[in-house]
Amino acid sequence: AAMAHGHGPGRCRCCGEEAAERGAAWGLYLRIDRQRLQCLNERREGSGATVFRPWEERGDRLHQFFVESDDDEELLFNIPFTGSVKLKGVIVMGEDDGTHPAELRLFRNIPHMSFDDTAKEPEQTFSLSRDPLGELEYPTKIARFSNVHHLSMHFPKNFGAETTKIFYIGLKGEWTEAHRHEVTICNYEASANPADHKLEQITPQTHFIS
């Protein structure tokens, strides 16, 4: 007879492997450019960076790894990556009380975003549930997040407290190394020579084929 797959005092090997696989899937925190990571309205400077850590350590409450908002309940993270990311899912873990964020708005490729910029339409919005164990995964619309160099996460409100607290943010997806030559091509195209466009200005209806 097949044995029941229970969890006794000794953890079974397959569950350990499953946890390791799941942990690896949430490894995008390793691809964050931490030198340029920003968290706006954080009460303690640098605390925003501590919520991006290994999935296995999401429940670590000993080291005070959390960020709390300062003036009001809003928090805004600017997260630059070291390459191109395909973002597939997000976890947001907080307390089981009013400080837990109630909404998440995601923006892509808007570096140095400010609270003024959050008036823009986000790529995706999530209504969050309280998740004190870091178990709820919010899947993204992958087509909108398939070439992300910079991710902004805006938490506009919580469940009624004066400040917002976040203990862990998980980012799941794939990472590709940045190609240096792409940057050069973009720069070249962006700096067009005004002399090239003189003919078009004089005769807008005519198209010359060289």
Q: pLDDT tens, position by position, for the chain (210 residues)?
A: 444 444 444 445 556 676 677 767 899 999 999 999 999 999 999 999 999 999 999 988 777 899 999 999 999 999 999 999 999 999 999 999 999 999 999 999 999 999 999 999 999 999 999 999 999 999 999 999 999 999 999 999 999 999 999 999 999 999 998 776 555 444 544 555 555 544 444 444 544 454
Residue 196 placed within a domain: no
Residue 186 placed within a domain: no
Residue 97 placed within a domain: yes
d(CA 165, CA 68): 4
Residue 182 placed within a domain: no
- DSSP symbol at 74: -
d(CA 117, CA 22): 34
Residue 64: the pLDDT is 80
The CATH code of the domain that includes 66 is 2.60.120.470
Structure token pair of residue 187: 């720069």
Residue 115: the pLDDT is 97
d(CA 35, CA 147): 21
Handedness of CA 108, 109, 114, 120 (dihedral sign): negative
The domain total for the chain is 1
Residue 1: the pLDDT is 43
Q: Within 13 Å and on the Cβ side, how many CA atoms surround 207?
A: 1
- Structural domain for 39, as ranges: 19-177
Q: What is the largest CA-CA distance in the chain?
A: 87
Residue 193: the pLDDT is 55
d(CA 68, CA 98): 12
Residue 156 placed within a domain: yes
Residue 173 placed within a domain: yes
Residue 169 placed within a domain: yes
Q: Which of 201, 140, 202 is nearest to 171 (CA)?
A: 140
- Count the Cβ atoms, other than its own, within 10 Å of residue 115: 14
Residue 204 placed within a domain: no
